[in-house]
Every structure is written in C-alpha cells, then in structure tokens.
Amino acid sequence: MAISKEKRELVYNKYNGKCAYCGYEITYSKMQVDHIQPVFRKSTQEEISGYNRVKGTNDIDNLNPSCGSCNSSKSTFTIEQWRHELSLKVGRIRKTSSSFRISERFGMVMESNKDIMFHFENNIKI
C-alpha cells in the first residue's frame, strides 16, 4: 500500500528533516520512509510467524524518515537486531579490508566501542 503525500510530509517532519537513525540531514525528495516494524511486502503473516515476527503497518507511529544508506542497511531487521548487526561491522570491515587495517594503523580511523544510539533515541518527536 502506497504512503500518501500528506503522511510522507508528517514522516519527514518527525525529526526536522533528519534521518531518524544516523541524524544525517536529508531533503524531502531523498527521504526514504522506513517501517520500524517491517511490512514484509511479499510475505503473509502466516509465512513470517515462524520467525516470531509480525507484519508492520503504514501507521505514522511505525514510520520513520530515513536516508537511503540506513534504510538499506536496516532492511527487515527490528531496531535491536539492526543495532546488533551494526555493532559487528567494525570487526567485519577489519577482517575483510586491508584499506581499513592500514587506515587504522596510521591512526586515521579508530574503534570507539561506544553504544550505538540512534538519532531518534536522542531527540524528541515534534
């Protein structure tokens, strides 16, 4: 089901034109609408029940403004599943990217080990 222009505008304004996850400023035309609880468009509720999941809705409370990178990365993860996946990225990049390892050795990048906090967790909705 398509999301109306009016609802897209409400979603865009939830975090003052910023991605709800990384806080990156996005234009209305570049914003992607993320379903906090995924809708699993091509699956029935019966099909996803085996994974202990529930289909999300197009209700405004289930929609967040997102940049393309975050929306793609989050995919059908729940917020906590995605937070966990993000926490594994540095180790994966270190293992597979010699450029990362070189950059790390020269002090160009550093692992922080800080908790992953999303923009929406640090800001109040309008």
Non-local (6+) Cβ contacts of 99 within 8 A are: none
- What is the three-class DSSP state of 66? strand
In this prediction, residue 123 carries a pLDDT of 65
pLDDT tens-place string over residues 19-41: 999 999 999 999 999 999 888 77
Could you report the per-residue pLDDT of 42-89, keeping only the tens digit for each? 676 677 776 777 777 899 999 999 999 999 999 989 999 999 999 999
Residue with tokens 């020269």: 106
User: Which residue segment(s) compose the domain that 39 sits in?
Assistant: 5-122
Helix (H, G, I), strand (E, B) or coil at 44: coil
Mean pLDDT along residues 2-16: 95
Q: Which residues pair with 35 in a beta bridge?
A: 63
User: In the prediction, which pLDDT does 86 show?
Assistant: 96
pTM of the full predicted structure? 0.84
Number of domains in the chain: 1
Q: How far is CA 75 from the centre of its chain?
A: 7
For the purposes of burial, counting CB atoms within 10 Å of the CB of 115, is it exposed (0-12), middle (13-18) or buried (19 or more)?
A: exposed
